[in-house]
A and B are shown apart, each in its own frame.
Chain A
Amino acid sequence: MRTSTSALKSKDLLGIEPLLPEEIDLILDTAEGFKEVSERPVKKVPALRGQLVINLFMEASTRTRVSFEIAEKRLSADTLNFTASGSSVEKGETLIDTAENLVAMHPDMIVIRAKHPGAPKMLADRLPNVSIINAGDGSHEHPTQALLDAFTIRERLGRLAGVNVSIIGDIAHSRVVRSNIHLLTKMNANVTVAAPPTLIPSEIEKMGVRVVNSLDEAVEGADVIMMLRIQLERQGKLSFPSLREYYNTFGLTPERLKRANSEAIIMHPGPMNRGVEIASDVADDPRRSVILEQVTNGVAVRMAVLYLIGGAHNVE
């Protein structure tokens, strides 16, 4: 029996790896309370009134940036969006200088999306008086995505322990998969990954996952099928002959889906490339696809994280 906790240990959320299972439970339980706020006529609560949150986005993002901003606004925080383009970053200012200048204006939290793995950790170490929330750093971690995925699985299947989760796609370049593996293995789910061998990092088995070489093997008996985008922007050159061949061997089609459990759900962190990793018929399947539920749950999970982190700096 796991013990419960009522607070996060750290002032920052840098990744799933340092979190304890009871902290993950706390975030997911808290998110349940916040999901209801987004269904109210007045979708706003005064929990973070007077707190300033800076969204520092050094890399392109739609869902995560919008989701964080909505979560902040629904908690009544003041928000400031900062993107690399159009700022002094283009004049050659370093990330740490940019952040230190922003911190001089006394924000309470900084949500950061960075190109470079470890950038949020560096900021967290250098800036003791502000909380850092990692919104994705290179191919390292994307903790709030893994948390919203777990929330969606738990909501749909009622549990995380013992659930068979198959993650298929660009395993090598995905921060989503790293955070998801950390989270799901901590919560005792069974994780299988599948991709062309060129997109499987060596020694990934050491993270406690099963590696298979074909989509069919991965789909067989799965409760959750998580499809990932091929991250062309992070690949020097294509790791397989062509996108069409990738679709033919690793694209999820209605035919291939038949091998999964009848109640299996389809997930995708977005953005989707229809006709590359997933067929439109599967992505739009009203019964099985939970891709848009993931987006809805993202706001609740990020509200929970902001709320729990926003209070942590008051701990004596």
Chain B
Amino acid sequence: MSLEAREPGVGSRRFETFPGSHTRLPIPGNRHPCYPPSAPPNDVKSTLHKVCMNVKKRLLDGPRMNRAIRRMAIEILEKNRGTQDLIIVGIRSRGVPIAERMAREIEEMEGHPISSGILDITLYRDDLTTIAPQPVVKPTKLPEPIDDKIVVLVDDVLYTGRTVRAALDALIDFGRPKAVMLAVLIDRGHRELPIHADVIGKTVPTDAEEVIKVKLVETDGEDEVLIMEK
């Protein structure tokens, strides 16, 4: 277990709360030591995953995230030479606030509002019949027909590429865009499909066992990106 020296708060707190959590496995009563006593006993699997992770490194804090998002917005404008035909579409759930922030940055720079929407890709997932329980379905909201528009898909983390595959399939059901671009805050590698991002906030080489945790003020109360390990 490696904890960064400047992150003693986070790391040591977890360590004290769940001592020895990474080596010992279930103790009498079928309760994992990582497992908070308040959680219901039949929910061990899902809770375990979240609780047993340790913060390895903080990749971005609030100001650095804001700078990255601003640069992403500038790159979008550069690549498209303006906002002509542009629609920014966030992929639920954490792509949505990032897309909204990019749209605000673009609006500030260009002086006029830009179309933005929300894409829910749940029903297009390729693992829908193998994961249980079923993921929650929420509406897709696109501001206008996407025919002949340049759609910028926005997500928090690009990993296997399967989410983006699902997003492309979902998007095509709404029309025929002139072009689709992909903007992600974090590209962590390990692609399983031939997909790449056009605009990237930060590229991070990772191990498959590590988890990237993106927290946003809108959804999690604070802005930061953490790299966690089991």
Contact = CB atoms under 8 A, between A and B. Distances in A.
Interface of A: 6-7, 29-30, 32-37, 40-42, 44-47, 50-51, 75, 304, 307-308, 310-312, 314-316
B208 interface: no
A314 to B, nearest CB: 4
A29 B136 CA distance: 9
A36 B139 contact: yes
A46 B123 CA distance: 6
Closest 10 CB pairs of A and B: A7-B133, A33-B137, A311-B134, A45-B123, A36-B139, A42-B173, A47-B123, A315-B132, A314-B132, A33-B138
Contacts of A35: 139
A32 B132 CA distance: 20
B122 to A, nearest CB: 8
Nearest to A74: B123
Interface string B125-152: 0001111111111111100010000000
B124 interface: yes
B169 interface: yes
A311 B133 contact: yes
A6 B136 contact: yes
A41 B174 contact: yes
Contacts of B145: 41
Contacts of B174: 40-42
A311 B129 CA distance: 6
Interface residues of B, number: 24
Contact of A314 (B130, B136, B137): B130
Nearest to A47: B123
B19 interface: no
23 contacts: A6-B133, A6-B136, A29-B136, A30-B136, A33-B122, A34-B137, A35-B139, A40-B140, A41-B173, A41-B174, A42-B174, A47-B123, A307-B123, A311-B128, A311-B131, A311-B132, A311-B134, A312-B132, A312-B134, A314-B129, A314-B132, A315-B132, A315-B133
Nearest to A308: B134
Contacts of B41: none
B120 interface: yes
Interface string B159-198: 0000000000110011100000000000000000000000
A203 to B, nearest CB: 37
A52 to B, nearest CB: 13
B124 A46 contact: yes
A30 B132 CA distance: 15
A307 B134 CA distance: 8
B134 A6 contact: yes
Contacts of B131: 311, 314
A7 B137 contact: no
B124 A45 contact: yes
Contacts of A312: 132-134
A42 B173 CA distance: 6
Interface string B67-98: 00000000000000000000000000000000
Nearest to A76: B123
Among A36, A44, A316, find the residue whose CB has the most chain B CB atoms closer than 10 A. A36
Interface in B109-125: 120, 122-124
Contacts of B175: 41
Contacts of A46: 123-124, 169
A41 B172 CA distance: 10
A42 B130 CA distance: 25
B139 A44 contact: no
Contacts of B139: 32-33, 35-36
Nearest to B169: A46
Among B120, B135, B136, B137, find the residue whose CB has the most chain A CB atoms closer than 10 A. B137
Nearest to B136: A6
A76 to B, nearest CB: 9
A247 B174 CA distance: 48
Nearest to A314: B132
Contacts of B122: 33, 47
B220 to A, nearest CB: 18
Contacts of B124: 45-46
Contacts of B141: 36
Nearest to A304: B137
Contacts of A37: 123
